[in-house]
Amino acid sequence: MQRSLISLAVMALLGWSASAPALVAASPATITAAATAAAKAAQANQQVTTQLPRNAVPTHYAVSLTPDAASSSFSASVTIALDVKQASSSLTLQAADLKFSAAAISAGPGKALQQASKIEVDADKQTATFHFAQALQPGSYQLKLDYTGVIGTQASGLFSLDYENGGVRKRALYTQFENSDARRVIPSWDEPFYKATFALEATVPAGQMAVSNMPVTSTTKLADGRELVRFATSPKMSTYLLFFGLGEFDRATSVVDGVELGVVTQKGSLAQAQFALDSSRDVLKEYNDYFGVKYPLPKLDNVAAPGRSQFFGAMENWGAIFTFEYAMLLDPRTATQSDKETSFLVAAHEMAHQWFGDLVTMAWWDDLWLNEGFASWMESRTTTRLHPEWRWELRAVGTREGAMERDALATTHPIVQRIATVEQASQAFDSITYSKGEAVIRMLENYVGDEAWRAGVRSYMAKHAYGNTVSDDLWREVEKSARKPITAIAHDFTLQPGVPLIRVADAVCKNGKTTIQLTQGEFSKDQQDKKPLSWRVPVIAQTVGASGNANAHSSNAVRTVVSGGKASMTLPGCGAVLVNAGQSGYYRTLYAPKAFNALTREFSRMPAIDQLGLLADSWALGMAGQMPASGFMDLANNAPVDAAPQVWQRIADALLGLHDGFEDKPEQRAALDRFARARLAPVFARVGWTAAKDEAAPVANLRETLIRVLGEVGDKAVIAEARRRYAAAATDKEAMPAALRRPILGVIAVNADAATWQQLHAAAKAEQSSMIKAELYDLLGAANDPALAQRALDLALTDEPGATAGASIIRYVANTHPDLAFDFAIAHRAQVDKIVDGSSRSRYFPGLGGRSADPAMIGKLQAYAKQYLSADAQGDTRTAIASIAYRIKVRAQRLPQIDAWLKQHAG
Ligand SMILES: [Zn+2]
């Protein structure tokens, strides 16, 4: 699953990128930290967790589904082939919101049929128990169930999405089953370990296209005009990977390595999916090679759907990936370089899951990171390889920051964690599972070498195809191929939480060699006196400048593993010492003052990735009070105007974070804004409003960032030009080309007055494209003016923006006005619950309030959790509270240092 990209898009628009400064970004939260011992015990436990009795296992589901889109309900029957393992008088399956009309079991075709004597439904546990008067002896059976269920309006179970196409209202149906919602459509053993085959048939209106995991084998016209569509039987797989979609769709295909690749869109949007189809071709070839096991299904569709979820952006259903339009389609009117990157990387992520997740699946949600950490790492690796011109390798630092930001709070948890309930599984889809998982894999791959890593992955795939695994199954295979101990390091980073800190003492240079002493501690934002945990940390270091080599890591970099808390390293050359060269390590580096100053002087000679790493560490350590907060400002001040676009994006976003931090201090904010304009305007002057011919792709992203940030820090020229272009766009197509449309609209929306807001509102109403319409509605929530933000909130709860747009608008408002948005959502809680998918409610509210810097919000969040959330659903609330407490501390204790630095460097 791809985490919701709306929140990422929101953040990109308003300056909180995934690599955002900790000061502003309180990405929604986490789960209770499981004790390391407990995680280790879970790992060692051979018996996979289940919430069902262990008396039977399913082998095959034959499902017959008849959806009625107009009445938002469906009727269905399922025949489940199963093996009873112990004599039992009942069978318990998972089921949610289903009504049963019949249940019977037989030992096979032609054998006596036994009706269930009683059907017991437990809504809280989401189970249905079928009792039989005559006990079932061990053996094979067929259980046949007839039932009805509901079609929802939010993305879980079977759900509908309404949209306009050519001015006509349409309704399409889709399913979303991860993590635990297959039970809303099929009574089933709805846990990843219970793999089975699936044969699906559906009765559908004529003229509509039905899509599932496997190809259609037959379509039969029925007497009433409807059609019966049958799909081929799936391979053995987990329930959460089943998919069904139905609507007035278009489909384009392309054959690669004998597999039919498809894209499915609403009618008329196929051209916008061409890039996604081309991307899928490239990625499939790459993965068939990388994994050593060919993609095993006959076809692979990517189904685009209008609307949004607050929980996810795309889902890896085997053979039928589901992706929201905004994360897949490129509309020539609006598509930017970053949209292209998103479309590619989402496809690369979901396709990686076709192996990591679908072919080989974690046994239980404790090891969810095996799916998500790996798919995230693979998405980054593949984007870097197949689009080297995007310089995606530089994003590694931002990904790592996204993880460390959360991992340095006391509320964090280990990558591998004990999951007991559906709620906890849902909350596990967080930046620890995704981004720390990705960063740790990057570090381990770098440690064993990419060839050995791939060999290990290949044998893991071959060995566990169609099966389930735990993390140690992967370590075992990599260790074998690498012939290097990796499991101990992997355990340190996956079974215990937190961020290692490597302290670098002042270096000594003698006879052309530099000796450094390293000690290992722990980086924490809110537990300064904590006794540090112990990690074995792979470290790469080198000298920079003087006789050190400036721009190549390989030539003079030295590796070691810091173990037992300290290490000494001898590096060739003299000069500034750079630790974590290449930035593959998951740890923070704290330099002694002289060593840091030496690096500041050599900043312009360092590779871009290390510039990003140094910026990230100095920011985080400065804000946490472990080095002067001014260190980051010195680097920002020293960055050359021609530094890599990604470096300037990082600096611009950080300055915007400081601008936000000074929200209640106009004088200090004015000083910060002056500095930001002075540094960024010359960079923007080089980049300009119009793309140069043959411009490097990252420059287009930098242009977007600079327009947005300069628009926020009051650059009069940028704001005036954005307004001029916006006004001219009605008559002049060149005024607001696709590449500039979003940043210009962002500046307009953020600085909107009532008349401009109304104009944007009218544009949203009139828009014909479902994708662009949703984006315009989001923008209504971006205004700095609190009165306009309130109007956006009121609008969000009406029917006008559409069933999945309201929650998104409120989230937009929360970026600028978290207290207003949270109070509003709580005051209208019942209504808001209806527009948020059930699986993300316990995360949505803390996500709104978590951006606050008001101490009162902590009490509000506690009250909300106490009243509405079960104990196992409060993880996100705890992290939101920890983030607010940290933000308050930073504003009180660190921002004065920034202000002092600004005064010292004024003029
Ligand atoms: Zn995923």
pLDDT in tens, 439-489: 999 999 999 999 999 999 999 999 999 999 999 999 999 999 999 999 999
pLDDT for 555 equals 66
Tokens of 231: 């799909």
CA atoms of 9 and 339, how far apart (whole Å): 10
Asked if residues 146 and 157 have their Cβ atoms less than 8 Å apart, the reply is no
Task: Indicate whether 363 pLDDT > 60.
Answer: yes
Output the CA 575–ligand 1 centroid distance in Å: 43
Query: 747 alpha carbon to ligand 1 midpoint, in Å?
Result: 32
Residue 737 CA to ligand 1 centre (angstroms): 33
Backbone φ/ψ region at 453: left (φ over 0), alpha (ψ -120 to 50), beta:
alpha
Q: How much distance in Å is there from the Cα of 375 to the middle of ligand 1?
A: 6
Q: In this structure, what token pair is assigned to residue 597?
A: 């100053």
Ligand 1 centroid, distance to 372 Cα (angstroms): 5
Q: Measure 357 CA to ligand 1 centroid, in angstroms.
A: 8
The model's confidence at residue 14, banded by pLDDT at 50, 70 and 90, is very low
Taking a C-beta distance cutoff of 8 angstroms, is the pair 873, 423 a contact?
yes
How far is the C-alpha of 840 from the C-alpha of 423, rounded, in Å? 9
Q: How far is the CA of 313 from the centre of ligand 1 (A)?
A: 9
Q: CA-to-CA distance for 744 and 718, rounded, in angstroms?
A: 9
Ligand 1 centroid from CA 733, angstroms: 38
Q: What CA–CA distance (Å, rounded) separates 361 from 73?
A: 31
Looking at the predicted structure, is the pLDDT value of residue 33 above 80? Answer: no
Task: Report yes or no: 212 and 230 within 8 Å, Cβ to Cβ.
Answer: no
Task: Give yes or no for a contact between 118 and 79, defined as CB atoms under 8 angstroms apart.
Answer: no
Write down the pLDDT at residue 627.
97
% the chain with pLDDT above 90: 91
Measured in Å, residue 328 CA sits from the centre of ligand 1 at 15
Q: What is the mean pLDDT of residues 299-317?
A: 96
Q: Is 834 helix (H, G, I), strand (E, B) or coil?
A: helix
- How much is the average pLDDT of 696-713? 97
Beta strands in 116-224 (DSSP E): 118-122, 127-136, 139-150, 157-165, 168-176, 197-204, 209-212, 216-221
Residue 38 above 70 pLDDT?
no
Q: Greater confidence, 8 or 716?
A: 716
With a cut of 80, say whether residue 13 has pLDDT above it: no
Residue 244 near residue 232 (C-beta atoms within 8 A): no
Give the pLDDT score at 5.
Answer: 64
Higher pLDDT, 170 or 556: 170
| More confident site: 93 or 837 | 93
DSSP three-state, residue 626: coil
Q: Which residues are catalytic?
A: 350
Neighbours of ion ligand 1 (CB under 5 A): 1, 372, 375
The residue length of the chain stands at 907
- The pLDDT of residue 839 is 78
pLDDT band at 548, cuts 50/70/90?
Answer: low
600-617 pLDDT per residue, tens: 999 999 999 999 999 999
Three-class SS string for 370-381? HHHHHHHHHHHH
Sheet with 209-212, edge to edge strand ranges: 157-165, 168-176, 244-247, 209-212
Question: How much is the pLDDT for 46?
Answer: 62
- pLDDT, mean of residues 292-303: 98
Tell me the residue type at 470: V
pLDDT of 44 > 90? The answer is: no
User: Residue 310 C-alpha to ligand 1 middle, in angstroms?
Assistant: 15
Residues 219-227, mean pLDDT to the nearest whole number = 97
β-pair type (566-572, 168-176): unpaired
**Amino acid 15: pLDDT:** 34
Structure token digits, residue 150: 């509901």
Query: Residue 726 has which token pair?
Result: 């916006």
Confidence (pLDDT) at 784: 96
| Ligand 1 centroid from CA 320, angstroms | 14
Measured in Å, residue 285 CA sits from the centre of ligand 1 at 20
Residue range 626-633: average pLDDT? 96
345's CB contacts (< 8 A; 6+ apart) are 379, 380, 383, 392
Residue 356 Cα to ligand 1 middle (Å) = 9
Distance 353 CA to ligand 1 centre (A): 7
State in Å: Cα 630 to ligand 1 middle.
38
Phi, psi of 388 (to 5 degrees): -60, -25
- Name the average pLDDT for the chain: 93
Going by the DSSP 8-state scheme, the letter that residue 308 receives in this structure is -
- 327 CA to centre of ligand 1 in angstroms: 14
Instruction: With beta carbons less than 8 A apart as the criterion, state whether 273 and 253 touch.
Output: no
Beta bridge partners of 176: 157
Q: Can you read off the two tokens belonging to residue 346?
A: 């989402």
The closest of 322, 325, 320 to 343, measured between CA atoms, is: 325
Residue from 210, 212, 244 nearest 227 by CA: 210
Indicate the SS3 state at residue 300.
strand
Per-residue DSSP letter, 193:
T
Give the closest residue to 604 by CA, choosing from 631, 580, 557, 637.
637
Q: What is the mean pLDDT of residues 543-557?
A: 64
Q: Contact, 123 vs 94, CB < 8 A?
A: no
How far are the Cα atoms of 64, 81, 258, 772, 891 from residue 99, in angstroms, in the given order?
Answer: 15, 21, 42, 39, 54
Note the pLDDT of residue 321.
Answer: 98
What does the alpha-carbon distance between residue 867 and residue 855 come to, in Å, rounded to a whole number?
19
pLDDT band at 42 (very low <50, low <70, confident <90, very high): very low
pLDDT at 889 over 70: yes
